[in-house]
Structure 1
Amino acid sequence: MHDKIVAHPRVGDKPLNPKDLFIVPAYRYQALAASGGPAQTGQIDAESPRHARSLLREQGWHVLSLELAAAQGASAQRLKLGGAELSTLTRQFSALLDAGLTIDELLVVLAEQAEQGKTRQILAGLRHDVLAGLPLSSAMDQFPRVFPLLYRTLVKAGEESGRLGAVMARLADYLEARGELNSKITMAFIYPAVVIGVSLLVILGMLTWVVPQMVQVFESAKQTLPLLTRLLLWSSAAVKTIGPYLALGLLLAGVAAHRALQDPALQLRFHRWRLSWPVLGYLDRLANTARFASTLSILVGSGVPLLKALTAAEGVMSNRQLQLAVGEVAGQVREGVSLARAMKAANEFPPLLLHLVASGEATGRLAAMLERAASEQSKELDRKVTTFTSLLGPLMVLVMGAIVMLIVLAILLPVFEMNQLVK
């Protein structure tokens, strides 16, 4: 879609009046010329479908079909915003609602401020549906990759309760906190990854370049080489001969494993096995349950019924085994079992979360207790990840350093023996 934004009144410190702005969306059409000939397709800017048809009739076209050029159908399915972009958009949405702007007006302002074309495209599509009489949550349904189920569920709850501004503010806080946690985890693993990568490059360089240079010296000496040196020469020859095939095999194995994990049954078995890993399994469970508690807190606190909140919160779990556990919890809650008892029966949730959920149900402060549980688990996850990565970095340095030392020692041992023979 090619959006056109007309009028940008900015004089001094005069506030921007959204009524002075108007997004003119583009419409795709298929039409026949009055003079005859085959059907033609094109695009026209107009304020509404009726206006577009009127303009085309004035140009001598008979309209066969007309649709908004904003993303629809398959194209809308492909549009996506990054986490930081969606968080910023949500925060701006909340601020403009608090300023008293209507949905129509704030969509105009947001589109005028948007720097990326796809963001303006999304906002124009939302405004088109809102002007057509749809609620904002229904308008967001055409962009499922931009606005996930959790997002749309919260927006709908805010619309029904008349507290959309407050709900959007909480949603912005949630998105920012989740983005900050993901950034911390990513940054924590960057240092070990860099150490491993550089060390592997150094080792490969020594095996493929340094060691072959020393082979000629060893061969001219015509002496029996130490076992460590012979192992090094064998490793160097193996890397040079079968290394490329091995790398290709690993790549193909990775692709095959990725495709195999698309099967739900295999994926479930793998995710169940992953939870049993000594350290990473614990971190995986902690991260997922923290997201679950945070999501459920904001949903319940926004007035979403518990069963519907559980269904939406299930979608934020990245582990299939834990998703299945949430589904079992929802089934038991539907039968009248309390949330705490249902979660305990699933045997997949940390004791702290179970204790706080039970306390929240007993005191009528479930949303507050879920938020506290999410906060405590996020802090615990942050501490564990920091500790793990702080130990992993030096451990990798020691391991890689030991490997490099063995290579150097294997090269120097024959040199020492040659010196002894000369003496």
Structure 2
Amino acid sequence: MAAFEYVALNSQGKEQKGVLEGDSNRQVRQLLRDRNFLPLSVTLAEKGSGNVKFLSTEWFATSLRVTDRAVVIRQLATLIGAGLPVEEALLTVSKQSEVSRVQKMLVAVRSRVMEGYSLANSLANYPRAFPRIYRATVAAGESAGHLDLVLNRLADFTEAQHQTRSKIQQALVYPVILFLLTLLILAGLLGYVVPDIVEVFADTGQQLPYLTRFIISLSDFLGHYVLVIMVGIIFLLIVFHRLLEMPSIRLAYDRRILHVPIVSKLSRGINAAQFSSTLAILSSSGVPIVEALRISGEVLSNSWLKQKIAEATVNVSEGSSLNIALDQSGYFPPMMLHMIASGEASGELDKMLQKVSVYMQQDVEGLLSILLSLFGPLMLILMGGAVFTIVMAILLPIINLNQLVI
């Protein structure tokens, strides 16, 4: 059975949209008539990965927000754990969701499952909605017969990611507001206050202080070239982004980032936390360690670390221990390596990887909280210093004029 999107009129003459399963367009139209709907249009919900039109029109529709993904995974885990078949669980979750694209996606996935495909293979049609870590973990859970437990772990993993991201966004609200206020105040002072003061001082004919002349020159420059500066900044950002799309430049840039003070510690911590959490959930779900390493390396945002993980994966596949393979890269924290070595020695690598994941996540959150707590005061100092400089540039000529009068 395939999934069909329909547009129909109900008994009150109101237009309704939805998704139904059926063997053909005609059967879906008949199902709508049986429900006292007048079908206006019925089309296949999904055209398949080879259809160019589908890729161009549905590219963004096939993604999922982290919150939606967490809800879907958690609900599936609960229903499957309660004994419902996978196809019934998918149907129930699709009806529960109020997001149209989630409904269409889950109905299409259910259609694939009813055709005989595994849940992991069915999710593979939506790589942006369900990244590789989800598909590999679900496949491992299906083969081991513990799909509900695996889905619960995935839900915990997704919710933890969402909570971390929410904390960062909430912590950034105050500094961002301060930064925007600083820009507005500086624009108002340089654009309106300084030009009016210049007219007053121009009539006196006195020699202006260097600071005042600098602020006046800056005000004139920004007044004439502000649009050029903005266009130039946007152009440079676009060029920079395009350059980073080149693999060689991106690799060199990511490698350099790992050696910049403060930034390197944050980048290494974030990537190590991503790697350890992904590896922990894959390993505990029964994914072979070599495959788990390969998938965990792909989720990293730093391309240089991806390359190092790929080298470590080759070493592990050739018989090297995990901690030695990671230690050779030279970029992972010693605490993480020691904990992994301890897990390998005790034969409880899965449990130790989960502890490593928790430790690295807490370490990154602590570092981020410190940096974000410093960001607010730095913005206050920047705003106060800028306003103080402009006010002094205005007051100095007035003070000099009073001294001349005296």
Same-fold call, TM cutoff 0.5: yes
Letter in 2 for 1:72: G
Report the counterpart of residue 164 of structure 1 in structure 2. Answer: 147
Checking the alignment, whether the CA contact within 8 Å between 2:5 and 2:19 is kept in structure 1 is no
Structure 1: gaps of 5 or more residues: 6-21, 29-42, 53-65
Runs of 4+ in 1 over 6 A off after TM superposition: none
Report the counterpart of residue 48 of structure 2 in structure 1. Answer: 72
Cα offset, 1:186, TM superposition: 2.6
Letter in 2 for 1:25: E
Work out which of the residue numbers 152, 167, 172 in structure 2 matches 1:189. 172
Checking the alignment, whether the CA contact within 8 Å between 1:26 and 1:70 is kept in structure 2 is no
**Cα–Cα, structure 1 residues 276 and 45, in superposed 2: closer, same or farther, change >3 Å?**
farther
Report the counterpart of residue 46 of structure 1 in structure 2. Answer: 28
Checking the alignment, whether the CA contact within 8 Å between 1:77 and 1:142 is kept in structure 2 is no
Cα offset, 1:173, TM superposition: 0.4
Query: Deviations 1:196-238 (Å, cap 9, x if unpaired)?
Result: 2211221122111110111110101111111111111111111
Cα offset, 1:145, TM superposition: 0.7
Structure 2: gaps of 5 or more residues: 9-17, 32-41
**Cα–Cα, structure 1 residues 203 and 106, in superposed 2: closer, same or farther, change >3 Å?**
same
Work out which of the residue numbers 320, 336, 345 in structure 2 matches 1:362. 345
Work out which of the residue numbers 366, 384, 389 in structure 2 matches 1:401. 384
Work out which of the residue numbers 11, 20, 31 in structure 2 matches 1:24. 20
Cα offset, 1:244, TM superposition: 1.5
| Aligned positions of 1:17-416 closer than 5 A | 24-25=20-21, 44=26, 46=28, 68-70=44-46, 72-73=48-49, 74-75=54-55, 77-78=59-60, 79-416=62-399
Cα offset, 1:68, TM superposition: 4.0
Cα offset, 1:27, TM superposition: 7.6
**Cα–Cα, structure 1 residues 181 and 3, in superposed 2: closer, same or farther, change >3 Å?**
farther
Checking the alignment, whether the CA contact within 8 Å between 1:188 and 1:389 is kept in structure 2 is yes
Distance 2:43 2:141 in 1: 30
**Cα–Cα, structure 1 residues 67 and 128, in superposed 2: closer, same or farther, change >3 Å?**
farther
TM-score norm. by structure 1 comes to 0.85
Checking the alignment, whether the CA contact within 8 Å between 1:3 and 1:26 is kept in structure 2 is no
Report the counterpart of residue 14 of structure 2 in structure 1. Answer: none
SS across alignment from 1:154: helix
**Cα–Cα, structure 1 residues 153 and 315, in superposed 2: closer, same or farther, change >3 Å?**
same
Cα offset, 1:71, TM superposition: 5.4
Cα offset, 1:192, TM superposition: 2.0
SS across alignment from 1:24: strand
Cα offset, 1:193, TM superposition: 2.2
SS across alignment from 1:223: coil
TM-score norm. by structure 2 comes to 0.88
Distance 1:261 1:365 in 2: 40
Distance 1:4 1:337 in 2: 59
Report the counterpart of residue 12 of structure 1 in structure 2. Answer: none
Distance 1:120 1:329 in 2: 40
Cα offset, 1:174, TM superposition: 0.6
Letter in 1 for 2:28: A
Distance 1:46 1:243 in 2: 59
Checking the alignment, whether the CA contact within 8 Å between 1:77 and 1:144 is kept in structure 2 is no
Checking the alignment, whether the CA contact within 8 Å between 1:325 and 1:346 is kept in structure 2 is yes
Cα offset, 1:3, TM superposition: 5.7
Cα offset, 1:194, TM superposition: 2.1
Query: Deviations 1:19-57 (Å, cap 9, x if unpaired)?
Result: xxx9733688xxxxxxxxxxxxxx55539xxx99xxxxx
Checking the alignment, whether the CA contact within 8 Å between 2:6 and 2:43 is kept in structure 1 is no
Distance 1:193 1:282 in 2: 23
Letter in 1 for 2:105: I
